[in-house]
A and B are shown apart, each in its own frame.
Chain A
């Protein structure tokens, strides 16, 4: 079975500082990986996805993530954060073991708080 671990439940940073949100996954087969962002009392919005090809994936709002197969990681980064980036971030994995009935497994989330 697949699983996702987000190593930090909360990450406080100052505005314009760089940030990295860590995500590790476990799966016995090839995976697809996603990062989502959730603002208070809203649904989830896709930030970026890794399907295949280049291991460095660029997403919306200046975020990027790097897929590392040997370390089974998919960490999210942004070189300079803004107050508006304050939100909860979820890493998710989808693997091919379920055949046609695939499922997304989500991590428990990382609350990013950007302080002025």
Chain B
């Protein structure tokens, strides 16, 4: 079945450590997105990519980095510059176009040790 796979489901980070969250899709979608979800805050956009080798900052990009070397993959790195990384991270993808709904993975929960 087609879908979005996020791994790992749970991730722990030590202070000063960078960690990378994986997101892979086999839906052949052009666009991919990373969101951060905190209780009572809804979803906030971190980065998005409309096409391979191109990506744009979202509303809360500071302390995060991404790459888009392949159409099906959009990994997110949470750097040590992100002072409050504990959150639920969701990856999504969609075909191009504003009327296309986004499809979501099951998320990665990141916690600080």
Contacts and interface: CB of A to CB of B under 8 A. Distances in A.
Q: Do chains A and B interact in one complex? A: yes
Nearest to A44: B104
Interface stretch (A63-71, A72-80, A96-104): A96-104
Interface residues of A, number: 26
B63 interface: no
Contacts of A98: 98
Interface residues of B, number: 27
B42 A103 contact: no
A14 interface: no
B58 A43 contact: no
Interface of A: 9, 32, 34, 36, 41-46, 49, 51, 90, 94-96, 98, 100-104, 106-109
Interface of B: 4, 6, 33, 40-45, 48, 50, 56, 58, 90, 92, 96-99, 101-107, 109
List 7 tightest A-B contacts by C-beta distance, closest first: A43-B104, A102-B98, A108-B42, A106-B43, A44-B104, A106-B42, A46-B101
Given A49-B99, A100-B50, A101-B48, 14 more contacts: A9-B40, A34-B101, A36-B104, A41-B109, A42-B107, A44-B104, A49-B101, A90-B42, A102-B98, A103-B45, A103-B58, A106-B43, A108-B40, A108-B42
